[in-house]
Amino acid sequence: MGFKLDFLLSILPRLIGAAAVNIRLAVIIMLLALALGTALTIVRSLKVAAVNACIAVVISFVRGTPLLIQIFIAYYVLPAVGLDLSPEVAGVSAIAFNSMVFVSESMRGGLATIDVGQIEASTALGLPPHAIWLRVVLPQLFRRIVPVLINEATIVVKGTALLSVITVVDVLRTAQQIASASYRPFETMIGSALVFLVINLVISLSGRVAESRFATARA
Amino acid sequence: MSATPVLRVSALTKRFHGVIALDQVYLDVHAGEIVALIGPSGCGKSTLLRCLTWLEQPDDGFIEVAGKPLGRELTPGGVVRHQSRRQIDALRPQVGIVFQQFNLWPHMTALENVVRPQTVVLGRPRAEAIRRGEELLTRLGLADRMDRHPHALSGGQKQRVAIARALAMDPALMLFDEPTSALDPELVGEVLAVLRSLAEIGMTMLVVTHEIGFAANVADRIAFMDQGRILEEGPARDIIAAPKEPRLRNFIDLVMANRRHDNPGTTIDTTE
Ligand SMILES: Nc1ncnc2c1ncn2[C@@H]1O[C@H](COP(=O)(O)OP(=O)(O)OP(=O)(O)O)[C@@H](O)[C@H]1O
Ligand SMILES: [Mg+2]
């Protein structure tokens, strides 16, 4: 069974159609991860020992276990404790939770590079804490972690393929359906890989443009 | 003087892990007065200024700004009441502080650095805040630098933006912590000139400085601090010409010796 380019081309429209699902989920996941990661960073910066100890345990769980297992937990285990989530919601929650931790970790790294003198000057001028976060700290943090966020976005896009195992009909699951119907796994897998590759190339390139924009905005 | 002082510090005490940094400091600064705070390294000058903006919480004692207690107040019943962050923040614009390291916000232009605190803290309309910012930056000689980010400014220019940022809040009192010590020698003059011009328009200032010439020529009074206490204070020329405290005498001798060493030929003009 050789490789047939015309078969690959014939299935591409279906795969690209399914990619809308991956892109939609990835966007939702990234927005959630950013919002939750920012909130988590602020909570951690309050330095409440007991809270930070709990957060540290959760973080080590997220970093130390495979994402696929975290997705299965959200899908199969959470219903057992009363949280019955649809496949998409379960999958999005699991990946967003995972991503939140990475966003928060890189924000915390960025936080250490912001000079405390700036915060003191803001405080002395009478800025209340929320204004210091919103006007002074977060704008600088986001700019600083743009490269990390771009990288995380490509990881999230790839991660959405894992949701095919909990019945989300995404690019990979569509490809598997085509493969089992046509007995042509070679072209279908190449096709789905191409779809992910193109999405991530677009993300990396626009990320690079965004970064150079920030660089020129500073100069 | 009978008028309420702009700043009244009484019995201010601060310890760091049990080690005393401010020891019963008393200091009054009246409207329009310029007080130079001098003293050896580690004597507590910066700590005093930081306490005056409540960046550091004093352990004891009281601060009054234009008659209003800051941070902690004594109720008529004799009970010490701690103010909330909100109450303290409401008073903070009254006390402008300019740091040695400028501490500008790097992600904003010079003008935005001056505009933002006015809109956020004072609730000024943006157009008015911009007008005030442009006016101040122009007065400080930065008319052509307003759209630059701090990294594209010289140390002296950054320091002037920081001064404009504090002045824009219309403070009753300005605090300066060694405003020239992070600057290259050739930039010191421009910042001292700004301080002189503020003195001319009647700004009340407390200036920590190692520039004994500035202290002698521009300040009305000099306060000498050592080991967390204000040991001697008085009219500037008396303090320089006839110091009473032996430690102040030693300090002045030392600074003068360094000065002659650094730039021979300069003398202190106490007749200004
Ligand atoms: N955050 C801190 N923690 C512990 N000790 C401190 C802290 N800040 C200041 N100190 C100590 O308090 C004392 C006074 O320090 P301060 O910075 O006020 O001195 P200074 O007069 O400003 O000196 P310099 O002329 O070198 O700036 C010093 O002994 C210093 O080590
Ligand atoms: Mg100091």
- A12-39 confidence digits (pLDDT tens): 999 999 999 999 999 999 999 999 999 9
* CATH number of the CATH domain containing A39: 1.10.3720.10
* Residue matched to tokens 């157009």: B127
CA–CA distance, B85 with B87 (Å, rounded to integer): 5
pLDDT tier at B265 (50, 70, 90 boundaries)? very low
Give the number of other Cβ atoms within 10 Å of residue A85's Cβ: 16
Give the number of other Cβ atoms within 10 Å of residue B269's Cβ: 9
pLDDT of residue B183: 83
Q: Amino acid identity, residue B150? A: P
Does residue A135 sit at the B interface (CB-CB below 8 Å)? Answer: yes
User: HSE-up of B62 (CA within 13 Å, CB side)?
Assistant: 15
Determine the residue among B63, B95, B107 to mutate to test chain A binding: the one whose Cβ has the most chain A Cβ atoms within 10 Å: B107
pLDDT of B269 over the 70 cut: no
DSSP track, chain B: --SPPSEEEEEEEEEETTEEEEEEEEEEE-TT-EEEEE--TTSSHHHHHHHHTTSS--SEEEEEETTEE-SEEE-TTS-EEEPPHHHHHHHGGGEEEE-TT----TTS-HHHHHHHHIIIII---HHHHHHHHHHHHHHTT-GGGTTS-GGGS-HHHHHHHHHHHHHTT--SEEEEESTTTTS-HHHHHHHHHHHHHHHHTT--EEEE-S-HHHHHHH-SEEEEEETTEEEEEEEHHHHHHS--SHHHHHHHHHHHHHHHHHSTT----TT-
Q: Comparing A70-84, B6-20, B58-72, which segment has the lowest mean pLDDT?
A: A70-84
pLDDT tier at B256 (50, 70, 90 boundaries)? confident
CA of B228 to the centre of ligand 1 (A): 10
Residues with CB under 5 A from ligand 2 (ion): B 46
Q: Which chain A residues touch B86 with a CB distance below 8 Å?
A: 128
CA of B224 to the centre of ligand 1 (A): 16
| Closest atom of ligand 1 to CA, residue B44 | 18
Q: Do B99 and A117 make contact, defined as CB atoms within 8 angstroms?
A: yes
pLDDT of B272 over the 50 cut: no
Going by alpha carbons, the residue nearest to atom 30 of ligand 1 is: B42
pLDDT of residue B260: 64
* Shortest CA gap B121–chain A (Å): 6
From A121, A127, A129, residue closest to B99, measured CB to CB: A121
Does residue B174 sit at the A interface (CB-CB below 8 Å)? Answer: no
Percent above pLDDT 70 for chain A: 98
* Shortest CA gap A216–chain B (Å): 12
Q: Which chain B residues touch A144 with a CB distance below 8 Å?
A: none
| Full-model pTM | 0.87
Q: Which chain A residues touch B133 with a CB distance below 8 Å?
A: none
Question: Residue A134 carries which DSSP code?
Answer: I
Q: What is the pLDDT of residues B126-180, one digit of tens each?
A: 999 999 999 999 999 999 999 999 999 999 999 999 999 999 999 999 999 998 8
Does residue B89 sit at the A interface (CB-CB below 8 Å)? Answer: yes
The residue among B114, B178, B184 whose CA lies nearest residue B155 is B184
* Number of domains observed in the structure of chain A: 1
Going by alpha carbons, the residue nearest to atom 31 of ligand 1 is: B42
* Shortest CA gap A144–chain B (Å): 11
pLDDT of B70 over the 80 cut: yes
pLDDT of residue A22: 95
Q: Read off the pLDDT of each residue in B101-115 and give the average, rounded to a whole number.
A: 95
Range of the domain at A138: 5-218
pLDDT of residue A217: 62
pLDDT of residue A2: 81
Q: Do B169 and A123 make contact, defined as CB atoms within 8 angstroms?
A: no
ipTM for the predicted complex comes to: 0.89
Q: Comparing A129-138, A161-170, B238-247, which segment has the lowest mean pLDDT?
A: B238-247
Q: What are phi and psi of B183, to 5 degrees?
A: -100, 150
CA–CA distance, A180 with B165 (Å, rounded to integer): 68
pLDDT tier at A80 (50, 70, 90 boundaries)? confident
Q: Which ligand is nearest to the CA of B18?
A: 1
Protein residues whose CB sits closer than 6 Å to any atom of ligand 1: B 16, 21, 39, 41-47
* Shortest CA gap B102–chain A (Å): 8
pLDDT winner (highest mean) among A117-121, B179-183, B211-215 = A117-121
pLDDT of A194 over the 90 cut: yes
pLDDT tier at B271 (50, 70, 90 boundaries)? very low
Q: Which chain B residues touch A140 with a CB distance below 8 Å?
A: 106-107
Q: Do A124 and B92 make contact, defined as CB atoms within 8 angstroms?
A: yes
Q: Which ligand is nearest to the CA of B43?
A: 1
Q: Do A125 and B169 make contact, defined as CB atoms within 8 angstroms?
A: yes
Determine the residue among A119, A123, A125 to mutate to test chain B binding: the one whose Cβ has the most chain B Cβ atoms within 10 Å: A125
- With vertex at residue B232, the alpha carbon angle to CA B231 and CA B237, rounded to the nearest 5 degrees, is 155
Does residue A143 sit at the B interface (CB-CB below 8 Å)? Answer: yes
Q: What is the pLDDT of residues B76-97, one digit of tens each?
A: 888 889 999 999 999 999 999 9
Q: Do B103 and A115 make contact, defined as CB atoms within 8 angstroms?
A: yes
